[in-house]
Chains A and B, each alone.
Chain A
Amino acid sequence: MNAIRKNVIQPIIDLWSLIVGLKVTGKYFCQRHVTVHYPRKIIPAELTDTFAGHIELIPSAKDPTIPKCISCMMCATNCPSNCIKVLKQKAPKVSPEQEKEWAEAEARGEKVKRPKAPKNPAKFSYDYSLCSLCGTCIENCPVSSLRFSHDIYIVATDRKELTMDLLARLARQAEAQAGKPADRAPGVLEQAAEAGQEASAKEA
Chain B
Amino acid sequence: MTRYPNMEQVTGDFYTQNFEKGAREGSLILNMGPQHPSTHGVLRIILELDGEYILRCDPVLGYLHRMHEKMGESKTYRGFIPNMGRVDYGCPLPWNWAFVGAVEKLAGIEVPERAEYIRVITTEMNRITSHLLWWGAYILDLGAFTPIMYAFDEREWLLDLLQTPTGSRLTYSSFRVGGVGHDIDDKFIEGLKAFIPYFRSRLPMYKDLVTDNIILRKRVEDIGPMPLDMCRRYGATGPVIRGSGLAYDIRRAEPYGIYDRFDFEIPTQDTCCCMGRYKVRLAEFEQSLRILEQAVDQIPDGPIIMDKAPKPSWKPPKGEVYFAVEGARGKTSVYLVSDGTKSPYRVKLRAPGFSNLSLFAEAAQGTLLADAVAILGSLDLIIPEIDR
Contacts and interface: CB of A to CB of B under 8 A. Distances in A.
Nearest to A34: B153
A145 interface: no
A134 interface: yes
Contacts of A133: 82, 167-168, 173
A135 B167 contact: yes
B307 interface: no
Interface residues of A, number: 25
A17 B214 contact: yes
A191 interface: no
A51 B163 contact: yes
A23 B86 CA distance: 40
Contact of B164 (A25, A50, A132): A50
B160 interface: yes
Contacts of A132: 82, 85-86, 171, 173
A138 B173 CA distance: 14
Do most interface residues of chain A lie in helix, strand or loop, or is the interface mixed? helix
Interface in B121-162: 146, 150, 153, 160
Contact of A80 (B82, B85, B311): B82
Nearest to A80: B79
A136 interface: yes
Given A17-B213, A80-B76, A133-B82, A140 B312 contact: yes
B215 interface: yes
Interface stretch (B16-24, B204-212, B373-381): B204-212
B139 to A, nearest CB: 11
B292 interface: no
A136 B181 CA distance: 10
Interface in A117-142: 132-136, 139-140
A160 B166 CA distance: 28
The listed residue with most A CB atoms (<10 A of its CB), out of B75, B76, B167, is B167
The listed residue with most A CB atoms (<10 A of its CB), out of B76, B153, B212, B313, is B212
Contacts of B171: 132
Interface in B13-32: none
A30 interface: no
B78 interface: yes
Nearest to A52: B167
A136 B210 contact: no
A109 B286 CA distance: 81
Given A135-B181, A136-B78, A136-B79, A21 B213 contact: yes
Interface string B210-236: 101111000000000000000000000
A73 B306 CA distance: 25
A14 B173 contact: no
A51 B212 contact: no
A154 interface: no
A140 to B, nearest CB: 7
Nearest to B169: A51
B93 interface: no
A24 B79 contact: no
The listed residue with most B CB atoms (<10 A of its CB), out of A21, A78, A135, is A21
Given A24-B208, A134-B173, A140-B312, A51 B214 contact: no
The 4 A-B pairs of least Cβ separation, nearest first, read A80-B79, A52-B167, A14-B214, A132-B82
Interface of A: 14-15, 17-18, 20-21, 23-25, 28, 34, 47, 50-52, 78, 80, 132-136, 139-140, 148
22 contacts: A17-B212, A18-B215, A20-B208, A21-B209, A21-B212, A24-B208, A24-B209, A25-B209, A28-B150, A47-B160, A47-B163, A50-B164, A51-B167, A51-B169, A52-B168, A78-B78, A78-B312, A80-B75, A80-B80, A132-B86, A139-B181, A140-B312
